[in-house]
């Protein structure tokens, strides 16, 4: 299952380390990734990581391919208004899509069926084509509007996977906490990985 095509969208919520780690692991596990990100995601990435996301999609693709040593054709980056990108049409959808991190604005737009940019359109394609769509919201606290939008999407089959790491694996670093969420996303995608031991695989986990 690791030869799948995954659309990965980055939006303006906090949590960009999750996104970059997810991108790294997807590429290292042999997936093809279609990447698109919002302008707000560029701002957040600059605040939270050492990775600058250029506005130009071709430059971003060059830098990210180099950063993650991606194989030929494994990573394609599309601008927010590149309407001829494969992800914009149900005739050529990815196998699955992840929005990580997912802002409440993007979540609301997806719940409302909007398609004002490539991220929203790609998510709409996943819904109409019955493909896997995973949203990784990172907000606290959630308002009633946020929760209603999540419930609406969950009832449509969307996976709502908040960036709430667990601690039963005894994390020793921030990277361990990041990997906890990335591992859960990969499990939902059906992408094999070795980021964390499974529940019950270590003696330390038996107490929950």
User: Does the pLDDT at position 205 exceed 60?
Assistant: no
Cα–Cα distance for residue pair 143/47, rounded to 1 Å:
25
Write down the mean pLDDT value for the chain.
94
Burial (CB < 10 A; 0-12, 13-18, 19+), residue 198, is exposed
Q: What DSSP line would sit under the chain, residue for residue?
A: -TT-EEEEEE-SSS-HHHHHHHHHHHHHTT-EEEEEE-HHHHHHHHHHSS----SSHHHHHHHHHHHHTPPTTSEEEE-TT-TTSGGG-TTS--SEEEEEEE-HHHHHHHHTT--SSHHHHHHHHHHHHT-EEEEEE--SSPPHHHHHHHHHHHHTT-EE--S----TT---SHHHHHHHHHHHHHHHHT----SSPPTTSSGGGTT-
| pLDDT score for 201 | 77
| pLDDT score for 70 | 96
Residue 202's pLDDT band, with cuts at 50, 70 and 90, is: low
Q: pTM for the complete prediction? A: 0.94
Domains along the sequence of the chain with CATH: 5-205 (3.40.50.1950)
Report which of 34, 6, 32 is spatially closest to residue 96, judged by C-alpha positions. Answer: 6
pLDDT tens column, 143-194: 999 999 999 999 999 999 999 999 988 999 999 999 999 999 999 999 999 9
Residue 199's pLDDT band, with cuts at 50, 70 and 90, is: confident
Residue 141, preceding peptide bond in cis (omega within 30° of 0): yes
pLDDT tens column, 123-141: 999 999 999 999 999 999 9
Residue 200's pLDDT band, with cuts at 50, 70 and 90, is: confident
């Amino acid at each position: 299952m690791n030869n799948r095509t995954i659309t990965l969208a980055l939006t303006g919520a906090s949590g960009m380390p999750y996104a970059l780690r997810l991108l790294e692991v997807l590429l290292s596990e042999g997936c093809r990734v279609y990447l698109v990100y919002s302008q707000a995601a560029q701002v957040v990435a600059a605040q939270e990581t050492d990775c600058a996301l250029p506005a130009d999609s071709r430059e971003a693709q060059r830098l990210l391919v180099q950063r993650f040593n991606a194989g030929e054709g494994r990573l394609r980056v599309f601008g927010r208004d590149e309407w001829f990108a494969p992800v914009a049409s149900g005739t050529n959808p990815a196998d699955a899509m992840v929005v990580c991190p997912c802002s409440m604005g993007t979540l609301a737009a997806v719940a409302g069926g909007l398609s004002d940019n490539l991220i929203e359109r790609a998510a709409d394609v996943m819904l109409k084509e019955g493909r896997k769509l995973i949203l990784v919201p990172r907000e606290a606290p959630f308002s009633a509007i946020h929760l209603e939008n999540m419930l609406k999407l969950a009832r449509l089959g969307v996976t709502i996977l908040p960036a709430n790491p667990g601690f039963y694996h005894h994390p020793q670093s921030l990277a361990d906490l990041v990997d906890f969420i990335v591992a859960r996303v990969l499990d939902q995608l059906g992408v094999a990985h070795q980021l964390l031991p499974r529940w019950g695989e270590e003696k330390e986990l038996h107490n929950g």
